[in-house]
Structure 1
Amino acid sequence: MVSSAATLDPTLPLDNSMGAMMIGVIVSAVLHGICLLQAFLYYQNYKKDVWYLKSLVILTVSFDAIHLAMISHAVYHYVVSYYHDEDQLRFLVWTVLMEALFTGVNGAVVQTFYTLRVWRLSKGNIILTGTILFLILATVGSGTAWVILSMQMETYDDLLKISPLTITINALSTAVDVAIAASLCIMLHNARTGFRKSDTIITKLIIFVVNTGV
């Protein structure tokens, strides 16, 4: 029953399939709005930042917008364009697959940026930063392979065949986030001096790192 529901079987309720996708689009739209606000505040408050940081912000916002456009198209395709065609629910639409590429690359860009912070705080620890970068590249590689394989499939039933790869991608991405957050928190904690003012700043930075990781 679970696998059938996951493949958008037209004979089953759509609450836990298309309904979940629609809720995801709504939440993504809200988060994209927050992302735009953050970008606006960034350009207002950090006008003197170097060009590559400003370009990084533009890149991440643009990829997030593309992601939102693609998942919105996917939902529109199923619930509007093919509203009267229940059999169409079984078939994949290309945007629901291609959006994973932009999401993965966007995540890798952000993770690489934070890995650079790990490099600086660790005073050039090659083993630590190299391991994190390796995991990021493995995630991107797995994600690209997932998109290539999924684009050759026709139905959601076919997509279930690469579930192990999907799980691997999620596990690798989570491992990167945990490694970055843990490394930064440990290094910041070890940087405490015992002076209240500086330790308070470090505590705030640790909270920021944890929030970013979440």
Structure 2
Amino acid sequence: MVDNSATLDPSFPLDNSIGAMMIGVIVSAVLHGICLLQRSCTTRVILTVSFDAIHLAMISHAVYHYAVSYYHDEDQLRFLVWTVLMEALFTGVNGAVVQTFYTLRVWRLSKGNIILTGTILFLILATVGSGTGPRTNSMGHFVNADGHVRDLLKISPLTITINALSTAVDVAIAASLCIMLHNARTGFRKSDTIITKLIIFVVNTGV
């Protein structure tokens, strides 16, 4: 029951709720700092870092809202703060930008394989469509109606679908790059060593 959640009942520990959110914000801040170390100033990098900064600001606001401003405030903690809802949009769009960049690598390495890259792009568009269309409508409902936390359960199937599609894209990109790199082996030790390193890089990026 929502009434017995950690944020409403002082007898409940906050480790598994607000504590988990706080850890998530700290990890996100560290990863954002790593992104800022990028020396490249391409439009893609600037766009990605900007969306990531907005995402970090929103989740930080959400944690401050629940953990500080309205700590154990029963009238506020039952409802979703707007930044919790909006950060999902920036996460989805940012993910699509990055995946599209790697799809371009698949296109180049496959020498313009339309079927392969087209399938990956279709999955990316399906992910973005699932995340921005229905979720935006759901957010409007949350904000304009009662916006109760338990209403998040209503979009659980949608969230699972989005995560499944995004994972499928990552797997397809990583698998395609690894297979093509493997097939590009020449039998010469020096060049094959470089290809092996590239395959490891692709796997790490996919993970």
Deviating beyond 6 angstroms after TM superposition, the runs of 4 or more aligned structure 1 residues are 1-4, 6-11
Distance 1:59 1:114 in 2: 15
| TM-score calculated relative to the size of structure 2 | 0.84
What is residue 71 of structure 1 aligned with on the other side?
59
What is residue 4 of structure 2 aligned with on the other side?
4
Instruction: Give the conservation status (yes or no) of the 8 Å contact 1:64–1:103.
Output: yes
Instruction: Give the conservation status (yes or no) of the 8 Å contact 1:8–1:14.
Output: no
CA RMSD across the alignment: 2.1
What is residue 141 of structure 2 aligned with on the other side?
none
Structure 2 unaligned regions, length at least 5: 38-42, 133-148
Residue 62 (structure 1) shift: 0.5
Of 86, 109, 112, 1:98 maps to 86
1:33 aligns to 2:33 (yes or no): yes
Aligned residue pairs total 186
Worse overlay, 132-141 or 84-93: 84-93
Residue 3 (structure 1) shift: 12
What is residue 165 of structure 1 aligned with on the other side?
158
Distance 1:74 1:16 in 2: 16
| TM-score calculated relative to the size of structure 1 | 0.81
Residue 89 (structure 1) shift: 1.8
What is residue 176 of structure 1 aligned with on the other side?
169
Structure 1 unaligned regions, length at least 5: 38-54, 145-155
Residue 15 (structure 1) shift: 2.0
Residue 199 (structure 1) shift: 0.2
Distance 2:120 2:4 in 1: 37
Distance 2:183 2:5 in 1: 49
Distance 2:6 2:119 in 1: 35
Instruction: Give the conservation status (yes or no) of the 8 Å contact 1:118–1:183.
Output: yes
Distance change in 2, residues 1:182/1:85 (3 Å): same
Distance change in 2, residues 1:134/1:123 (3 Å): same
Instruction: Give the conservation status (yes or no) of the 8 Å contact 2:6–2:12.
Output: no
Instruction: Give the conservation status (yes or no) of the 8 Å contact 1:10–1:90.
Output: no
Residue 10 (structure 1) shift: 7.1
Of 193, 196, 203, 1:203 maps to 196
Distance change in 2, residues 1:176/1:14 (3 Å): same
Please state whether the residue corresponding to 1:135 is helix, strand or coil: helix
What is residue 148 of structure 1 aligned with on the other side?
none
Instruction: Give the conservation status (yes or no) of the 8 Å contact 2:7–2:71.
Output: no
Residue 100 (structure 1) shift: 0.6
Please state whether the residue corresponding to 2:96 is helix, strand or coil: helix
Residue 86 (structure 1) shift: 3.4
Q: Deviations over 1:88-113 (max 9, x none)?
A: 22210000110111111000000000
Distance 1:195 1:3 in 2: 66
Please state whether the residue corresponding to 2:5 is helix, strand or coil: helix
Residue 123 (structure 1) shift: 1.0
Residue 14 (structure 1) shift: 2.7
Please state whether the residue corresponding to 1:6 is helix, strand or coil: coil
Q: Deviations over 1:6-53 (max 9, x none)?
A: 99777743322221111100100111111111xxxxxxxxxxxxxxxx
Distance 1:178 1:65 in 2: 26
Distance 2:34 2:73 in 1: 36
Identity over aligned pairs, percent: 94
Distance change in 2, residues 1:4/1:108 (3 Å): farther
Worse overlay, 183-192 or 121-130: 121-130
Instruction: Give the conservation status (yes or no) of the 8 Å contact 1:112–1:136.
Output: yes
